Chain A
């Protein structure tokens, strides 16, 4: 079976982002970009399913600017078979991304769509669920374990109260949580091999998706920083401060 893994290029998670000087948006010039960490987990899971003989082909797809080629190449180096780059502006809203991915899924007919549970830039946590809805497929979100037997998928989900187990038929959409696996690093030979793997480029306009934004940004701000507090030298002083100053004890 074929697995399609949508991945997003985002600011590296170690980068402390800043606003542009005119506060019109987030300053992304000369900032290190990487694969969204949750998507790395999705790639790893897909590659493991291939190694286990469950999947026959792993295709990664990314929607965005030219820079997406780099993250597709990284995914290929980790073990994906080929890539699809849907050339579009960066920052397309989740609903439009979901519609784009639906169009790609209809062309590719995968049995499983594996996504990260959220992107660490917009923190929306929407695309996988929207994509499942548009395809009328079942969804297993926030997966920390998954098992495929024949045409049936069992997903263990991380929920507020603990864990939840669902069963669903394939094809299905799964969004990956951090504990699903530990992504591997690409080896140098695999990075070299990845250069020969194919990446198809499509223009988003060829997919007939309306990407008109539904939202307009009114303003961006840095959240109020907490005031640096005081260091206390003993437990007695701490308790005293919590009682008389902070009044929380």
Chain B
């Protein structure tokens, strides 16, 4: 089968979730013979991204479309391009990562192709047989799709990243006409030296128990620095204004699956658990012995986070 993966990029850099999407494409390809995987790079002055995509293992062709109106990854224009590319090349499957970019663009493509989309796939069992969570990760659904084009967004933490030992060919393709519906104005990025939350191997996450933005920084940053960890937050901490919303882990925020997740002052609402319960090891530090998080944590420590977390940081510094 012919599979198209839609690359995601920002500031002329490939977003690593694309590698997970290629990983999922390889899984899908493994169920049929004679499969090919192409990657589509649509953007403005993004030839570096196209070159980077050449090196992704398992990719046959990189299709590169260049136009000013692909800046910002506008859904209207990217979807129109994918529609035309799909009709020309008759792809059997279109895969994007279930990031905000993929979630924005992919359903638009699906509707234009009159095909139903499977969102946030966590497992590909065969061509047309997928698993995904419903009801805030409380139910695992296995479903079958007989659609003519299989359109999937994939949960990045559920698929291995493809390696970078490939030698694909870059084909420059014509841009589709400007749909002219919306206009990209600007992105307001959150600057950080820390690892990316979605892909970090250690995540330190704080909740309302921290009490203030100052406490969040004073208590959690030294620990995260010591562990080389990304910082996350519960929705309560975001809503209270301790940190910006892109720190949020949970059903409506980011889904993470690090080696080690340290939940500090987080009670463990199901909406939060939906975003981190696939972590390998979960540590909870909370003063409330009845906090639901303790039922999920591998190691729970009951007590005052304001003394325990600095002590943990200190002990790690010594050892």
Query: Which residues of chain A have a CB within 8 Å of any CB of chain B?
Result: 11, 13, 16-17, 19, 26, 93-95, 98, 117, 120-134, 136-142, 144, 154, 157-169, 172, 177-179, 214-223, 226-236, 238-239, 241-242, 246, 248-249
- For the complex, is B181 an interface residue (Cβ under 8 Å from A)? yes
Q: How far is the CB of B222 from chain A (nearest CB, A)?
A: 14
Contact of B137 among A137, A223, A228 (CB under 8 A): A223
Interface size on B, residues (CB 8 A): 89
Q: In the complex the two chains form, what is the Cα distance from A124 to B105 in whole Å?
A: 13
Q: Interface segment, B24-32, B58-66, B163-171, B299-307?
A: B299-307
CB of B188 within 8 A of CB of A177, answer: no
Tell me if A's interface is mostly helix, strand, loop or mixed. Answer: mixed
Given contact pairs A160-B246, A222-B138, A232 touches B301 in the complex (Cβ within 8 A): yes
Contact of A246 among B103, B182, B299 (CB under 8 A): B299
Q: In the complex the two chains form, what is the Cα distance from A128 to B75 in whole Å?
A: 12
Contact with A along B130-151 (1 / 0, CB 8 A): 0011111111111111110000
- For the complex, is B38 an interface residue (Cβ under 8 Å from A)? no
- For the complex, is B240 an interface residue (Cβ under 8 Å from A)? no
Report chain A residues within 8 Å CB of B115.
95, 214
Q: How far is the CB of B280 from chain A (nearest CB, A)?
A: 7
Report chain B residues within 8 Å CB of A136.
181
Report chain A residues within 8 Å CB of B267.
none
Q: Count contacts between A and B, CB distance < 8 Å.
A: 247
Q: Name the CB-closest residue of B to A167.
A: B183
Contact of A16 among B99, B108, B270, B271 (CB under 8 A): B270
CB of A248 within 8 A of CB of B281, answer: yes
Report chain B residues within 8 Å CB of A120.
135-136, 251
- For the complex, is B219 an interface residue (Cβ under 8 Å from A)? no
List 26 A–B pairs whose Cβ atoms lie within 8 Å, in order of A's numbering.
A16-B270, A17-B139, A19-B139, A94-B116, A124-B117, A129-B105, A130-B110, A141-B104, A159-B187, A161-B187, A165-B185, A166-B72, A172-B182, A177-B252, A215-B143, A217-B141, A220-B142, A228-B295, A233-B301, A235-B301, A235-B312, A238-B301, A238-B312, A246-B298, A248-B260, A248-B280
Contact of A124 among B72, B119, B239, B308 (CB under 8 A): B119
Contact of A137 among B116, B117, B181, B300 (CB under 8 A): B181
Contact of A164 among B112, B188, B300 (CB under 8 A): B188
Q: Name the CB-closest residue of A to B117.
A: A126
Q: How far is the CB of B165 from chain A (nearest CB, A)?
A: 27
In addition to A17-B138, A17-B139, 19 A-B residue pairs with Cβ atoms within 8 Å of each other are A127-B107, A128-B107, A136-B181, A138-B76, A139-B108, A139-B182, A154-B185, A163-B187, A164-B186, A164-B187, A166-B74, A169-B181, A218-B129, A226-B298, A229-B294, A235-B311, A238-B301, A248-B259, A248-B260
Contact of A134 among B111, B187, B270 (CB under 8 A): B111
Q: Name the CB-closest residue of B to A165.
A: B185
Contact of A168 among B112, B182, B186, B235 (CB under 8 A): B182
Query: Which residues of chain B have a CB within 8 Å of any CB of chain A?
Result: 10, 15, 72, 74-76, 79, 99-101, 103-112, 114-120, 129, 132-147, 181-190, 198, 202, 235, 238-239, 244-246, 251-252, 254, 259-260, 270-271, 277, 280-283, 294-302, 308, 311-312, 315-316, 319
Report chain B residues within 8 Å CB of A98.
111
Q: How far is the CB of A203 from chain B (nearest CB, A)?
A: 23
Q: How far is the CB of B74 from chain A (nearest CB, A)?
A: 7
Q: How far is the CB of A52 from chain B (nearest CB, A)?
A: 22
CB of A126 within 8 A of CB of B119, answer: yes
Q: In the complex the two chains form, what is the Cα distance from A126 to B129 in whole Å?
A: 19
Given contact pairs A123-B133, A162-B189, A167-B183, A232 touches B299 in the complex (Cβ within 8 A): yes
Contact of A130 among B15, B108, B260 (CB under 8 A): B108
Q: In the complex the two chains form, what is the Cα distance from A124 to B260 in whole Å?
A: 28
Report chain A residues within 8 Å CB of B99.
160
CB of B246 within 8 A of CB of A223, answer: no
Q: How far is the CB of B230 from chain A (nearest CB, A)?
A: 13
Q: Name the CB-closest residue of B to A102.
A: B111
Which among A122, A128, A218 has the greatest number of chain B C-beta atoms within 10 A?
A218
Q: In the complex the two chains form, what is the Cα distance from A214 to B142 in whole Å?
A: 14
Contact of B134 among A94, A121, A128, A236 (CB under 8 A): A121
CB of A230 within 8 A of CB of B111, answer: no
